[in-house]
């Protein structure tokens, strides 16, 4: 059931469902999440079952912006390094997830059994309205400190950016809060804060440069940290970091502009030889203006701007699947910092 986020009764219904151990579809500024009380292990188990997600692959816990998120962080995290506090001050509420050491006895299922936990304070007003409602305690109910909410889709598939996407994939029994299309369109930047230095686990809308400027430290990759020969510091597992992820049903292939034009040319020759009624099941998503594209190809132009592409990326991939194509040819994004989040999602989506 889809509920309007503008109605107070919808917020109350989602909060009540969460308290009762149910699942909800929750809008955020990144993608829609499939949410449950992060401290209710039985409810969190429903998330894993609904998504078909391995139980040892951790979820991100979303927390209220009340007092800057500090009370909720204190509930879930054993400690918060100074650089992590600086990042929280700079980017919360917003599309930043911090991996922190987990307190014993809290969020264990959401953390996939790890000693760390991923925390994020979303900027979407509807998500915050639900989180605020859950923080309210009374004589007969304790506060709910956070909502574990991975993307509301089948595991490894394209993330949803509208309530309709969630409904088509996980409905019709799920309670879905409709907060409109997601503003950003790709998942949060994830920074590991458990190993003494900030380590990038997943790029997103917040860039490396912004992270470094906010915390005053160099942002390392796992490879760079290992190169420093630091022993006993394995990277924690984190959402969306598997080699293959975000994949449409159609097979996705990344190509540079020259290879893409060559492929289109070859396909055009085959088309003309076989006759105009032949319709290959191929979609093309490219920034470069291609020449002599057969009318039978489903063509969508990729924006020149990284943020605009991120906003529409998952919806575009879902649209290609809805059209029934078997192949999606995508022009490889530029190798620049602003495109890093989009490039990461497409690279993972292209892994067979």
Q: Which of 73, 70, 138, 124 is nearest to 94 (CA)?
A: 124
Q: Indicate if 209 and 344 belong to the same structural domain.
A: no
Rounded average pLDDT over 178-182 = 97
Is residue 172 reached through a cis peptide bond, with omega within 30 degrees of 0 on the bond before it?
yes
How many structural domains compose the chain? 2
Q: Which CA distances in Å does 57 have to 40, 118, 239, 282?
A: 17, 11, 7, 33
Residue with the two structure tokens 């995508």: 330
**Distance separating alpha carbons of residues 132 and 67, to the nearest angstrom:** 11
Rounded average pLDDT over 288-313 = 93
- Whether 311 is covered by a domain: the verdict is yes
**Distance separating alpha carbons of residues 105 and 117, to the nearest angstrom:** 12
Query: Beta partners for 347?
Result: none
- Whether 244 is covered by a domain: the verdict is no
Is residue 273 pLDDT above 70, yes or no?
A: no
Query: Which of 212, 227, 242 is where one domain is finished?
Result: 227
**pLDDT for residue 19:** 96
pLDDT band (50, 70, 90) for residue 156: confident
Q: Indicate if 131 and 279 belong to the same structural domain.
A: no
Q: Indicate if 123 and 67 belong to the same structural domain.
A: yes
- Whether 40 is covered by a domain: the verdict is yes
- CA 293 to chain centroid, in Å, comes to 33
Query: Which of 172, 195, 227 is where one domain is finished?
Result: 227
Is residue 245 pLDDT above 80, yes or no?
A: no
Q: How far apart, in Å, do the first and last CA atoms of the chain sit?
A: 34
Estimate the crossing angle of helix 340-349 against helix 306-322, to 10 degrees.
Answer: 20
**pLDDT for residue 232:** 57
pLDDT above 90 covers what percent of the chain? 77
Query: Beta partners for 220?
Result: 199
Q: Indicate if 19 and 108 belong to the same structural domain.
A: yes
- Whole-number mean pLDDT of the chain? 91
Three-class SS of the chain:
CEEECCCHHHHHHHHHHHHCCCCEEECCCCCCEEEEECCCHHHHHHHHHHHCCCCCCCCEEECCCHHHHHHHHHHHECCCCHHHHHHHHHHCCCCEEEEEEECCCCCCCCCCCCCEEEEECCCCHHHHHHHHHHHCCECCECCCCCEECCECCCCCECCCCCHHHHHHHHCCCCEEEECCCCCCCCCCEEEECCCCCCEEEECCCCCHHHHHHHHCCCCECHHHHHHCCCCCCCCCCCCCCCCCCCECCCEEEEECHHHHHHHHHHHHHHHHHHCCCCCCCEEEEECCCCCCCCCCCEEEECCCCHHHHHHHHHHHHHHHHHCCCCEEEEECCCCCHHHHHHHHHHHHHCCC
CATH number of the domain bearing residue 54: 3.90.870.10
Q: Indicate if 72 and 216 belong to the same structural domain.
A: yes
Rounded average pLDDT over 229-248 = 69
**pLDDT for residue 50:** 94
**CB 143: neighbour CB atoms within 10 A?**
16
**pLDDT for residue 236:** 76
**pLDDT for residue 254:** 97
**pLDDT for residue 47:** 96
Q: Indicate if 222 and 309 belong to the same structural domain.
A: no
What confidence tens digit (pLDDT) does each residue in 98-142 have? 999 999 999 999 999 999 999 999 999 999 999 999 998 777 888
- Whether 67 is covered by a domain: the verdict is yes
Q: Which domain holds residue 217?
A: 2-227
Backbone angles phi, psi at 321, to 5 degrees: -60, -45
**CB 69: neighbour CB atoms within 10 A?**
22
**pLDDT for residue 130:** 97
**pLDDT for residue 242:** 66
Rounded average pLDDT over 201-218 = 95
pLDDT band (50, 70, 90) for residue 279: low
- Whether 239 is covered by a domain: the verdict is no
- Whether 240 is covered by a domain: the verdict is no
Q: Which of 178, 195, 112 is nearest to 150 (CA)?
A: 112
Question: Can you give the pTM of this predicted structure?
Answer: 0.92
Q: How many Cα neighbours within 13 Å face the side chain of 16?
A: 7
Q: Which CA distances in Å does 283 have to 36, 169, 308?
A: 36, 22, 19
CATH number of the domain bearing residue 272: 3.40.50.11030
**Distance separating alpha carbons of residues 43 and 124, to the nearest angstrom:** 23
pLDDT band (50, 70, 90) for residue 258: very high
Q: Indicate if 170 and 285 belong to the same structural domain.
A: no
Region label for 229, one of left (φ > 0), alpha (ψ between -120 and 50) or beta (otherwise): left
**pLDDT for residue 270:** 58
Q: Indicate if 222 and 270 belong to the same structural domain.
A: no
């Amino acid at each position: 059931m889809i509920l309007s986020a503008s109605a107070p009764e919808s917020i109350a219904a989602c909060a009540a469902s969460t308290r009762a151990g149910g699942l909800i579809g929750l809008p955020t500024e990144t993608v829609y999440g499939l949410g449950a009380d992060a401290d209710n292990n039985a409810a969190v188990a429903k998330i894993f079952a609904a998504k078909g997600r391995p139980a040892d692959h951790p979820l991100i816990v979303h927390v209220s912006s009340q007092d800057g998120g500090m009370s909720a962080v204190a509930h879930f995290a054993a400690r918060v390094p100074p650089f992590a506090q600086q990042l929280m001050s700079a980017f919360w509420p917003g599309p930043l997830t911090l991996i922190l050491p987990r307190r014993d006895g809290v969020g264990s299922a959401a953390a996939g059994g790890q000693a760390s936990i991923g925390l994020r304070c979303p900027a979407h007003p509807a998500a915050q309205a639900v989180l605020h409602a859950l923080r309210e305690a009374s004589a007969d109910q304790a506060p709910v400190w956070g909502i574990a909410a991975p993307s509301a889709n089948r595991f490894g598939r394209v993330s949803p950016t509208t309530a309709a996407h969630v409904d088509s994939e996980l409905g019709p029994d799920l309670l879905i809060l409709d907060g409109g299309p997601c503003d950003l369109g790709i998942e949060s930047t994830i920074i590991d804060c458990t190993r003494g230095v900030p380590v990038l686990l997943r790029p997103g809308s917040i860039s490396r440069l912004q992270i470094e400027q906010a915390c005053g430290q160099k942002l390392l990759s796992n490879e760079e940290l290992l190169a420093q020969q630091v022993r006993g510091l394995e990277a924690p597992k984190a959402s969306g970091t598997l080699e293959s992820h975000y994949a449409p049903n159609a097979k996705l292939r990344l190509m540079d502009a020259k290879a893409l034009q060559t492929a289109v040319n070859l396909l055009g020759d085959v088309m003309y030889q076989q006759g105009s009624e032949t319709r290959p099941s191929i979609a093309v998503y490219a920034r470069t203006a291609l020449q002599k594209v057969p009318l039978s190809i489903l063509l969508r132009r990729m924006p020149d701007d990284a943020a605009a592409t991120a906003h529409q990326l998952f919806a575009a991939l879902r649209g290609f699947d809805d059209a029934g194509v078997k192949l999606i040819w995508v022009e490889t994004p530029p190798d620049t910092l602003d495109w890093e989040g989009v490039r990461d999602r497409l690279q993972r989506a292209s892994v067979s």
